[in-house]
Amino acid sequence: MSSGLPLGVPKRQPETEHFWNATAQGRLLLPRCDDCDSVFWYPRGICPFCSSLRLSWVEASGRGRIYSWTWNTRGEGDFSGVGPYAIGYVELEEGPRLMTNFIDVEPSQLAVDLPVTVVFEDTGEGSSLLRFRPA
């Protein structure tokens, strides 16, 4: 799947390797703390709520709702010359919020609480970027 948006290849870290490998298989994993049961974003090696190092992974549904959005008409860097595109936060069913691009959507459709679902865009480097489209 390709939205036509730039595909920055994620930098791999030991604590995110499993996450990125899963995205290449079309799976969205979220880190979960085995001590306080918090599910959080972004993947990292320590729980942001209780500092536990005992973490595991849970598979997310890929569904969520738009928490906030903006229609960007002037991209910079890799996004210069791309044309208008949507960027914002999605709140996943599991609770965490993550920044993303909304694709296959017209500006008039964008709204807080709009149901969206994940789309995996292959970087060609063994990972996929997470983007969301209306459900």
- One DSSP character per residue, 53-95 reads --EEEEE--SEEEEEEEEEESS--GGGTTS--EEEEEEEETTS
The answer to whether 111 touches 11, Cβ cutoff 8 Å, is no
**Residue corresponding to tokens 């190092």:** 53
In angstroms, what is the minimal distance from the CB of 102 to Zn ion? 30
| Options 1, 9, 36, 111; binder of Zn ion; rule CB under 5 A | 36
* Segment interacting with Zn ion, rule: CB under 5 A, options 8-16, 26-34, 83-91, 105-113: 26-34
In angstroms, what is the minimal distance from the CB of 95 to Zn ion? 13
Q: Which amino acid is at 31?
A: P
Quote the tokens at residue 108: 């008039």
Per-residue x/- marks for Zn ion, 51-70, CB under 5 A? Answer: -x------------------
Nearer to Zn ion by C-beta: 31 or 88?
Answer: 31
Which residues of this chain interact with Zn ion, rule CB under 5 A? 33, 35-36, 38, 47, 49-50, 52
